[in-house]
Structure 1
Protein backbone atom coordinates (compact mmCIF):
# COMPACT_ATOMS: atom_id res chain seq x y z
CA UNK A 1 0.00 0.00 0.00
CA UNK A 2 1.63 3.25 -1.18
CA UNK A 3 0.97 5.86 1.52
CA UNK A 4 1.30 9.53 0.56
CA UNK A 5 2.11 12.06 3.28
CA UNK A 6 1.99 15.85 3.44
CA UNK A 7 3.81 17.80 6.16
CA UNK A 8 2.87 21.39 7.03
CA UNK A 9 5.05 23.19 9.58
CA UNK A 10 6.10 26.85 9.48
CA UNK A 11 9.46 26.30 11.20
CA UNK A 12 11.99 24.86 8.75
CA UNK A 13 14.10 23.08 11.38
CA UNK A 14 11.07 21.33 12.88
CA UNK A 15 9.65 20.49 9.46
CA UNK A 16 12.94 18.98 8.31
CA UNK A 17 13.27 17.01 11.56
CA UNK A 18 9.77 15.55 11.25
CA UNK A 19 10.34 14.55 7.63
CA UNK A 20 13.61 12.80 8.52
CA UNK A 21 11.89 10.89 11.31
CA UNK A 22 9.00 9.91 9.05
CA UNK A 23 11.46 8.60 6.47
CA UNK A 24 13.14 6.61 9.23
CA UNK A 25 10.09 5.14 10.95
CA UNK A 26 7.76 4.95 7.95
CA UNK A 27 10.11 4.18 5.04
CA UNK A 28 7.41 2.67 2.84
CA UNK A 29 5.50 5.97 2.85
CA UNK A 30 6.24 8.83 0.44
CA UNK A 31 6.48 12.49 1.47
CA UNK A 32 4.74 14.15 -1.47
CA UNK A 33 4.75 17.74 -0.18
CA UNK A 34 6.06 19.97 2.59
CA UNK A 35 4.43 23.33 3.25
CA UNK A 36 5.17 26.25 5.54
CA UNK A 37 1.74 27.91 5.75
CA UNK A 38 -1.90 26.93 6.04
CA UNK A 39 -3.08 28.25 2.67
CA UNK A 40 -0.43 26.26 0.80
CA UNK A 41 -1.22 23.19 2.89
CA UNK A 42 -4.92 23.46 2.06
CA UNK A 43 -4.19 23.83 -1.66
CA UNK A 44 -1.73 20.91 -1.71
CA UNK A 45 -4.08 18.57 0.17
CA UNK A 46 -6.88 19.23 -2.31
CA UNK A 47 -4.62 18.95 -5.35
CA UNK A 48 -2.18 16.18 -4.37
CA UNK A 49 -4.64 14.11 -2.30
CA UNK A 50 -2.36 12.71 0.41
CA UNK A 51 -3.46 9.83 2.62
CA UNK A 52 -2.08 11.46 5.77
CA UNK A 53 -1.39 15.11 6.63
CA UNK A 54 0.78 16.19 9.55
CA UNK A 55 -0.34 19.74 10.37
CA UNK A 56 1.10 22.32 12.72
CA UNK A 57 -1.68 24.37 14.32
CA UNK A 58 -0.18 27.86 14.27
CA UNK A 59 1.09 28.59 10.78
CA UNK A 60 0.61 32.33 10.28
CA UNK A 61 -2.35 32.56 7.91
CA UNK A 62 -4.67 29.59 8.37
CA UNK A 63 -4.38 27.41 11.44
CA UNK A 64 -4.04 23.67 11.05
CA UNK A 65 -7.57 23.30 12.41
CA UNK A 66 -8.91 25.71 9.76
CA UNK A 67 -7.12 23.67 7.12
CA UNK A 68 -8.68 20.44 8.42
CA UNK A 69 -12.12 22.04 8.49
CA UNK A 70 -11.90 23.24 4.89
CA UNK A 71 -10.24 20.42 2.97
CA UNK A 72 -12.21 18.93 0.09
CA UNK A 73 -10.09 15.80 -0.08
CA UNK A 74 -10.62 13.69 3.06
CA UNK A 75 -7.40 12.40 4.59
CA UNK A 76 -6.11 11.35 7.99
CA UNK A 77 -5.13 14.43 9.99
CA UNK A 78 -2.43 14.38 12.65
CA UNK A 79 -1.79 17.65 14.46
CA UNK A 80 1.72 18.54 15.63
CA UNK A 81 1.79 21.51 17.98
CA UNK A 82 3.33 23.02 21.10
CA UNK A 83 -0.10 23.99 22.46
CA UNK A 84 -2.23 21.47 24.34
CA UNK A 85 -5.20 23.87 24.56
CA UNK A 86 -6.28 23.02 21.01
CA UNK A 87 -6.70 19.30 21.63
CA UNK A 88 -10.51 19.34 21.92
CA UNK A 89 -10.89 21.42 18.75
CA UNK A 90 -8.46 19.13 16.98
CA UNK A 91 -10.36 15.94 17.74
CA UNK A 92 -13.67 17.64 16.94
CA UNK A 93 -12.12 18.31 13.52
CA UNK A 94 -11.70 14.57 13.06
CA UNK A 95 -8.01 14.37 13.97
CA UNK A 96 -6.52 10.91 14.21
CA UNK A 97 -3.80 11.97 16.67
CA UNK A 98 -2.34 14.99 18.45
CA UNK A 99 1.44 15.19 18.86
CA UNK A 100 2.51 17.68 21.49
CA UNK A 101 5.92 19.28 20.92
CA UNK A 102 8.51 18.33 21.91
CA UNK A 103 7.42 14.77 21.19
CA UNK A 104 9.74 11.80 21.56
CA UNK A 105 10.67 9.36 18.82
CA UNK A 106 8.72 6.71 20.72
CA UNK A 107 5.60 8.89 20.66
CA UNK A 108 5.93 9.50 16.92
CA UNK A 109 6.48 5.79 16.29
CA UNK A 110 3.37 5.04 18.35
CA UNK A 111 1.42 7.51 16.22
CA UNK A 112 2.70 5.94 12.99
CA UNK A 113 1.91 2.42 14.20
CA UNK A 114 -1.61 3.43 15.16
CA UNK A 115 -2.19 5.16 11.82
CA UNK A 116 -0.88 2.18 9.82
CA UNK A 117 -3.03 -0.23 11.81
CA UNK A 118 -6.13 1.86 11.18
CA UNK A 119 -5.44 2.21 7.47
CA UNK A 120 -4.71 -1.50 7.05
CA UNK A 121 -7.98 -2.40 8.74
CA UNK A 122 -10.11 -0.13 6.59
CA UNK A 123 -12.11 -1.64 3.74
CA UNK A 124 -11.13 -0.58 0.25
CA UNK A 125 -14.13 -2.07 -1.51
CA UNK A 126 -16.86 -0.69 0.72
CA UNK A 127 -19.15 1.77 -1.01
CA UNK A 128 -22.66 3.12 -0.59
CA UNK A 129 -25.50 1.52 -2.57
CA UNK A 130 -28.17 3.99 -3.62
CA UNK A 131 -31.65 2.56 -4.08
CA UNK A 132 -35.00 4.19 -4.72
CA UNK A 133 -37.28 4.93 -1.80
CA UNK A 134 -40.92 5.83 -1.62
CA UNK A 135 -40.20 9.29 -0.17
CA UNK A 136 -41.96 12.08 -2.02
CA UNK A 137 -38.87 14.27 -1.92
CA UNK A 138 -36.93 11.97 -4.24
CA UNK A 139 -34.28 9.27 -4.01
CA UNK A 140 -32.33 8.72 -0.85
CA UNK A 141 -29.88 6.15 0.35
CA UNK A 142 -31.68 3.07 1.67
CA UNK A 143 -28.80 0.64 2.25
CA UNK A 144 -25.05 0.72 2.70
CA UNK A 145 -22.81 -2.05 1.46
CA UNK A 146 -19.95 -2.53 3.92
CA UNK A 147 -17.36 -5.25 4.31
CA UNK A 148 -16.48 -6.32 7.86
CA UNK A 149 -13.77 -8.96 7.88
CA UNK A 150 -14.76 -11.59 5.31
CA UNK A 151 -18.46 -10.73 5.47
CA UNK A 152 -20.35 -8.34 3.22
CA UNK A 153 -23.23 -6.57 4.91
CA UNK A 154 -26.08 -4.58 3.39
CA UNK A 155 -27.08 -2.32 6.25
CA UNK A 156 -30.50 -0.66 6.14
CA UNK A 157 -29.96 3.07 6.60
CA UNK A 158 -32.84 3.12 9.10
CA UNK A 159 -30.71 0.94 11.42
CA UNK A 160 -27.83 3.40 11.49
CA UNK A 161 -27.61 5.52 14.64
CA UNK A 162 -24.98 7.94 13.41
CA UNK A 163 -22.20 8.60 10.93
CA UNK A 164 -18.84 9.98 12.08
CA UNK A 165 -16.07 11.32 9.86
CA UNK A 166 -12.84 9.38 10.34
CA UNK A 167 -10.07 10.72 8.12
CA UNK A 168 -10.64 9.47 4.58
CA UNK A 169 -13.50 7.32 5.80
CA UNK A 170 -16.83 7.54 7.59
CA UNK A 171 -17.62 5.34 10.57
CA UNK A 172 -21.09 3.83 10.45
CA UNK A 173 -22.57 3.00 13.86
CA UNK A 174 -25.53 0.69 14.49
CA UNK A 175 -26.75 -0.91 17.72
CA UNK A 176 -24.87 -4.12 16.89
CA UNK A 177 -21.81 -3.17 14.84
CA UNK A 178 -19.49 -0.49 13.54
CA UNK A 179 -17.95 -0.31 10.09
CA UNK A 180 -15.94 2.07 7.92
CA UNK A 181 -16.84 3.09 4.40
CA UNK A 182 -14.67 4.99 1.97
CA UNK A 183 -16.61 8.19 1.49
CA UNK A 184 -16.79 11.77 2.69
CA UNK A 185 -19.42 12.84 5.19
CA UNK A 186 -20.60 15.51 2.76
CA UNK A 187 -21.22 12.96 0.00
CA UNK A 188 -23.22 10.75 2.36
CA UNK A 189 -25.23 13.65 3.77
CA UNK A 190 -26.42 14.62 0.31
CA UNK A 191 -27.88 11.11 -0.12
CA UNK A 192 -29.66 10.88 3.23
CA UNK A 193 -33.21 11.92 3.99
CA UNK A 194 -33.09 15.32 5.76
CA UNK A 195 -36.27 14.36 7.60
CA UNK A 196 -34.44 11.79 9.72
CA UNK A 197 -30.72 12.49 9.34
CA UNK A 198 -29.46 15.73 10.84
CA UNK A 199 -25.91 17.01 10.77
CA UNK A 200 -25.10 18.17 14.31
CA UNK A 201 -21.37 18.68 13.93
CA UNK A 202 -18.89 19.06 11.11
CA UNK A 203 -17.92 15.43 11.64
CA UNK A 204 -21.23 13.89 12.77
CA UNK A 205 -24.66 13.05 11.38
CA UNK A 206 -27.31 11.51 13.64
CA UNK A 207 -30.48 9.58 12.94
CA UNK A 208 -33.06 11.45 15.04
CA UNK A 209 -35.14 8.29 15.38
CA UNK A 210 -32.50 7.21 17.92
CA UNK A 211 -32.37 10.54 19.74
CA UNK A 212 -33.47 10.14 23.38
CA UNK A 213 -32.98 13.74 24.49
CA UNK A 214 -30.67 16.73 24.28
CA UNK A 215 -28.58 17.67 27.31
CA UNK A 216 -28.56 21.47 27.65
CA UNK A 217 -26.30 21.74 30.72
CA UNK A 218 -23.55 23.27 28.59
CA UNK A 219 -24.94 26.26 26.72
CA UNK A 220 -22.15 26.41 24.13
CA UNK A 221 -22.11 22.68 23.43
CA UNK A 222 -25.40 20.82 23.55
CA UNK A 223 -25.16 17.04 23.74
CA UNK A 224 -27.32 14.49 21.95
CA UNK A 225 -28.06 11.43 24.06
CA UNK A 226 -28.69 8.52 21.71
CA UNK A 227 -30.25 5.09 22.16
CA UNK A 228 -27.63 2.29 22.23
CA UNK A 229 -24.66 4.70 22.61
CA UNK A 230 -22.79 5.06 25.89
CA UNK A 231 -21.19 8.40 25.02
CA UNK A 232 -23.14 11.58 24.17
CA UNK A 233 -22.65 13.25 20.81
CA UNK A 234 -21.50 16.87 20.82
CA UNK A 235 -23.71 19.34 18.96
CA UNK A 236 -21.66 22.28 17.75
CA UNK A 237 -23.01 25.82 18.09
CA UNK A 238 -23.51 26.02 14.34
CA UNK A 239 -26.29 23.41 14.62
CA UNK A 240 -27.82 24.43 17.96
CA UNK A 241 -30.78 26.03 16.18
CA UNK A 242 -32.07 22.60 15.18
CA UNK A 243 -32.96 21.91 18.81
CA UNK A 244 -34.26 25.30 19.94
Structure 2
Protein backbone atom coordinates (compact mmCIF):
# COMPACT_ATOMS: atom_id res chain seq x y z
CA UNK A 1 0.00 0.00 0.00
CA UNK A 2 1.46 3.34 -1.12
CA UNK A 3 0.09 6.10 1.13
CA UNK A 4 1.32 8.87 -1.19
CA UNK A 5 -0.58 7.39 -4.15
CA UNK A 6 -3.63 6.79 -1.97
CA UNK A 7 -4.35 10.51 -1.71
CA UNK A 8 -2.62 11.74 -4.89
CA UNK A 9 -4.45 13.48 -7.72
CA UNK A 10 -1.32 13.70 -9.84
CA UNK A 11 -2.10 14.08 -13.53
CA UNK A 12 -5.87 14.29 -13.06
CA UNK A 13 -8.23 17.00 -14.29
CA UNK A 14 -10.88 18.58 -12.07
CA UNK A 15 -13.74 21.00 -12.70
CA UNK A 16 -15.06 22.92 -9.68
CA UNK A 17 -18.21 25.04 -10.08
CA UNK A 18 -18.47 28.05 -7.82
CA UNK A 19 -14.71 27.78 -7.58
CA UNK A 20 -13.76 31.44 -7.30
CA UNK A 21 -14.45 31.79 -3.57
CA UNK A 22 -15.52 30.06 -0.37
CA UNK A 23 -15.73 26.29 -0.23
CA UNK A 24 -15.19 25.89 -3.98
CA UNK A 25 -11.93 27.77 -3.81
CA UNK A 26 -10.80 25.75 -0.77
CA UNK A 27 -11.37 22.56 -2.76
CA UNK A 28 -9.70 23.95 -5.89
CA UNK A 29 -6.57 24.86 -3.91
CA UNK A 30 -6.49 21.45 -2.25
CA UNK A 31 -6.77 19.67 -5.60
CA UNK A 32 -3.93 21.77 -7.02
CA UNK A 33 -1.69 20.90 -4.08
CA UNK A 34 -2.56 17.22 -4.60
CA UNK A 35 -1.32 17.42 -8.21
CA UNK A 36 -4.47 18.00 -10.29
CA UNK A 37 -5.07 20.38 -13.17
CA UNK A 38 -7.99 22.49 -11.99
CA UNK A 39 -10.67 24.38 -13.93
CA UNK A 40 -12.85 26.73 -11.91
CA UNK A 41 -16.18 28.13 -12.97
CA UNK A 42 -18.19 31.04 -11.57
CA UNK A 43 -20.91 33.34 -12.84
CA UNK A 44 -18.85 36.52 -12.43
CA UNK A 45 -16.08 36.36 -15.03
CA UNK A 46 -13.84 38.95 -13.41
CA UNK A 47 -13.84 37.18 -10.04
CA UNK A 48 -13.33 33.79 -11.70
CA UNK A 49 -10.37 35.07 -13.74
CA UNK A 50 -8.79 36.73 -10.69
CA UNK A 51 -9.12 33.58 -8.57
CA UNK A 52 -7.60 31.42 -11.32
CA UNK A 53 -4.65 33.81 -11.63
CA UNK A 54 -4.00 33.61 -7.89
CA UNK A 55 -4.41 29.83 -7.75
CA UNK A 56 -2.06 29.42 -10.73
CA UNK A 57 0.80 30.21 -8.34
CA UNK A 58 0.17 26.72 -6.87
CA UNK A 59 -0.50 24.74 -10.04
CA UNK A 60 -2.29 24.81 -13.41
CA UNK A 61 -5.64 26.56 -12.90
CA UNK A 62 -7.92 27.80 -15.69
CA UNK A 63 -10.93 30.11 -15.42
CA UNK A 64 -14.10 29.04 -17.26
CA UNK A 65 -16.77 31.63 -16.38
CA UNK A 66 -20.33 30.34 -16.83
CA UNK A 67 -23.84 30.67 -15.47
CA UNK A 68 -24.73 27.05 -14.71
CA UNK A 69 -28.23 27.92 -13.48
CA UNK A 70 -29.56 27.27 -17.02
CA UNK A 71 -29.15 24.36 -19.43
CA UNK A 72 -27.67 26.76 -22.00
CA UNK A 73 -25.08 27.85 -19.43
CA UNK A 74 -24.31 24.23 -18.54
CA UNK A 75 -23.72 23.30 -22.18
CA UNK A 76 -21.56 26.41 -22.69
CA UNK A 77 -19.38 25.36 -19.74
CA UNK A 78 -19.03 21.83 -21.09
CA UNK A 79 -18.03 23.21 -24.51
CA UNK A 80 -15.49 25.57 -22.92
CA UNK A 81 -13.96 22.74 -20.88
CA UNK A 82 -13.74 20.47 -23.94
CA UNK A 83 -11.44 22.99 -25.60
CA UNK A 84 -8.85 22.20 -22.92
CA UNK A 85 -9.29 18.50 -22.06
CA UNK A 86 -10.59 15.37 -23.80
CA UNK A 87 -11.71 13.76 -20.51
CA UNK A 88 -12.68 14.75 -16.96
CA UNK A 89 -11.47 12.90 -13.85
CA UNK A 90 -13.23 14.89 -11.10
CA UNK A 91 -16.36 17.06 -11.09
CA UNK A 92 -17.26 19.09 -8.00
CA UNK A 93 -20.81 20.45 -8.11
CA UNK A 94 -20.39 23.31 -5.66
CA UNK A 95 -22.24 26.26 -7.24
CA UNK A 96 -25.25 27.06 -5.09
CA UNK A 97 -27.63 29.69 -3.80
CA UNK A 98 -29.56 30.43 -0.62
CA UNK A 99 -32.67 32.44 0.19
CA UNK A 100 -34.23 33.40 3.49
CA UNK A 101 -37.67 34.92 4.08
CA UNK A 102 -40.51 34.54 6.58
CA UNK A 103 -42.83 31.61 5.87
CA UNK A 104 -45.86 33.78 5.00
CA UNK A 105 -43.84 35.92 2.60
CA UNK A 106 -41.52 33.36 1.01
CA UNK A 107 -41.53 34.11 -2.76
CA UNK A 108 -41.69 31.74 -5.70
CA UNK A 109 -38.52 33.36 -7.08
CA UNK A 110 -36.69 32.37 -3.90
CA UNK A 111 -37.86 28.82 -4.41
CA UNK A 112 -37.09 28.40 -8.11
CA UNK A 113 -33.65 30.05 -8.11
CA UNK A 114 -32.40 27.98 -5.17
CA UNK A 115 -33.98 24.65 -6.10
CA UNK A 116 -32.74 24.91 -9.69
CA UNK A 117 -29.14 25.79 -8.87
CA UNK A 118 -28.77 23.50 -5.85
CA UNK A 119 -30.49 20.41 -7.20
CA UNK A 120 -31.21 20.61 -10.94
CA UNK A 121 -27.81 21.98 -11.97
CA UNK A 122 -25.73 19.19 -10.36
CA UNK A 123 -27.87 16.61 -12.14
CA UNK A 124 -27.77 18.13 -15.62
CA UNK A 125 -24.12 19.21 -15.47
CA UNK A 126 -23.11 15.70 -14.43
CA UNK A 127 -25.35 14.25 -17.15
CA UNK A 128 -23.69 16.45 -19.78
CA UNK A 129 -20.18 15.54 -18.57
CA UNK A 130 -20.78 11.81 -18.07
CA UNK A 131 -19.22 10.78 -21.42
CA UNK A 132 -16.01 12.66 -20.46
CA UNK A 133 -16.04 11.18 -16.95
CA UNK A 134 -16.45 7.64 -18.34
CA UNK A 135 -13.63 8.28 -20.81
CA UNK A 136 -11.33 9.28 -17.93
CA UNK A 137 -12.06 6.12 -15.91
CA UNK A 138 -9.26 3.97 -17.26
CA UNK A 139 -6.74 2.86 -14.60
CA UNK A 140 -8.66 4.80 -11.92
CA UNK A 141 -12.25 5.75 -11.18
CA UNK A 142 -13.79 9.09 -12.15
CA UNK A 143 -15.42 11.04 -9.34
CA UNK A 144 -18.41 13.36 -8.90
CA UNK A 145 -18.67 15.23 -5.59
CA UNK A 146 -21.84 17.17 -4.77
CA UNK A 147 -21.56 19.92 -2.15
CA UNK A 148 -24.66 19.60 0.01
CA UNK A 149 -25.09 21.10 3.51
CA UNK A 150 -25.82 20.05 7.06
CA UNK A 151 -29.03 22.07 6.56
CA UNK A 152 -30.20 19.13 4.45
CA UNK A 153 -29.61 16.79 7.42
CA UNK A 154 -30.75 18.76 10.48
CA UNK A 155 -32.97 21.82 10.88
CA UNK A 156 -31.25 25.20 11.14
CA UNK A 157 -32.79 28.13 13.05
CA UNK A 158 -33.33 30.26 9.91
CA UNK A 159 -36.25 30.32 7.49
CA UNK A 160 -34.36 29.07 4.44
CA UNK A 161 -37.07 26.72 3.17
CA UNK A 162 -35.94 26.13 -0.40
CA UNK A 163 -32.26 25.90 0.62
CA UNK A 164 -32.84 23.22 3.26
CA UNK A 165 -35.18 21.25 1.01
CA UNK A 166 -32.83 21.44 -1.99
CA UNK A 167 -29.83 20.26 0.02
CA UNK A 168 -31.82 17.35 1.47
CA UNK A 169 -32.87 16.55 -2.09
CA UNK A 170 -29.27 16.70 -3.28
CA UNK A 171 -28.20 14.23 -0.58
CA UNK A 172 -30.80 11.74 -1.81
CA UNK A 173 -30.04 12.50 -5.46
CA UNK A 174 -26.42 11.60 -4.70
CA UNK A 175 -27.52 8.07 -3.73
CA UNK A 176 -29.69 7.63 -6.80
CA UNK A 177 -27.04 8.92 -9.23
CA UNK A 178 -24.39 6.78 -7.55
CA UNK A 179 -26.38 3.61 -8.22
CA UNK A 180 -26.62 4.49 -11.92
CA UNK A 181 -23.03 5.60 -12.46
CA UNK A 182 -20.97 3.26 -10.23
CA UNK A 183 -21.19 0.35 -12.72
CA UNK A 184 -19.81 2.78 -15.33
CA UNK A 185 -16.75 3.49 -13.11
CA UNK A 186 -18.00 6.96 -12.13
CA UNK A 187 -18.33 7.30 -8.35
CA UNK A 188 -20.78 9.85 -6.93
CA UNK A 189 -20.57 11.08 -3.33
CA UNK A 190 -21.24 14.30 -1.43
CA UNK A 191 -19.92 16.58 1.29
CA UNK A 192 -22.23 18.30 3.77
CA UNK A 193 -20.27 21.28 5.13
CA UNK A 194 -21.11 23.05 8.37
CA UNK A 195 -19.71 26.44 9.42
CA UNK A 196 -17.06 27.56 6.95
CA UNK A 197 -16.30 31.21 6.23
CA UNK A 198 -17.94 32.05 2.89
CA UNK A 199 -20.30 34.41 1.13
CA UNK A 200 -23.01 31.79 1.65
CA UNK A 201 -22.27 31.48 5.38
CA UNK A 202 -21.80 35.07 6.47
CA UNK A 203 -22.30 34.23 10.14
CA UNK A 204 -19.26 31.92 10.13
CA UNK A 205 -17.31 34.48 8.11
CA UNK A 206 -18.23 37.57 10.12
CA UNK A 207 -18.88 36.11 13.59
CA UNK A 208 -16.47 33.18 13.77
CA UNK A 209 -15.95 33.36 17.55
CA UNK A 210 -19.68 33.34 18.25
CA UNK A 211 -20.30 30.44 15.85
CA UNK A 212 -17.36 28.53 17.36
CA UNK A 213 -19.14 28.55 20.73
CA UNK A 214 -22.03 26.59 19.20
CA UNK A 215 -19.68 24.12 17.49
CA UNK A 216 -18.59 21.01 19.45
CA UNK A 217 -15.14 21.20 17.80
CA UNK A 218 -14.79 24.71 19.22
CA UNK A 219 -14.00 26.48 15.93
CA UNK A 220 -15.26 27.08 12.42
CA UNK A 221 -13.93 25.01 9.52
CA UNK A 222 -10.62 25.82 7.83
CA UNK A 223 -9.58 25.43 4.18
CA UNK A 224 -7.56 22.35 5.23
CA UNK A 225 -10.70 20.70 6.65
CA UNK A 226 -12.60 21.11 3.38
CA UNK A 227 -9.64 20.32 1.12
CA UNK A 228 -8.88 17.16 3.10
CA UNK A 229 -12.42 15.85 2.75
CA UNK A 230 -12.58 16.59 -0.98
CA UNK A 231 -9.14 15.09 -1.70
CA UNK A 232 -10.15 11.95 0.19
CA UNK A 233 -13.29 11.47 -1.90
CA UNK A 234 -11.60 12.44 -5.18
CA UNK A 235 -8.56 10.18 -4.76
CA UNK A 236 -8.04 6.40 -4.59
CA UNK A 237 -8.67 6.68 -0.84
CA UNK A 238 -12.37 7.38 -1.44
CA UNK A 239 -13.06 4.79 -4.15
CA UNK A 240 -15.34 2.69 -1.92
CA UNK A 241 -17.47 5.62 -0.73
CA UNK A 242 -20.44 5.30 -3.08
CA UNK A 243 -23.54 7.47 -2.71
CA UNK A 244 -22.68 8.59 0.81
CA UNK A 245 -22.51 12.13 2.19
CA UNK A 246 -19.49 13.03 4.32
CA UNK A 247 -20.48 15.48 7.07
CA UNK A 248 -17.70 18.03 7.68
CA UNK A 249 -19.11 20.36 10.31
CA UNK A 250 -17.28 20.10 13.65
CA UNK A 251 -20.33 18.32 15.08
CA UNK A 252 -22.90 21.08 14.49
CA UNK A 253 -25.52 18.87 12.80
CA UNK A 254 -25.72 16.62 15.86
CA UNK A 255 -25.42 19.44 18.41
CA UNK A 256 -28.55 21.06 17.00
TM-score by length of 2: 0.38
Larger Rg: 1
Higher relative contact order (CA 8 A, sep 6+): 2
Question: Which has more strand, going by share of residues?
Answer: 1
- Taking structure 1 as the reference length, what is the TM-score of the superposition? 0.39
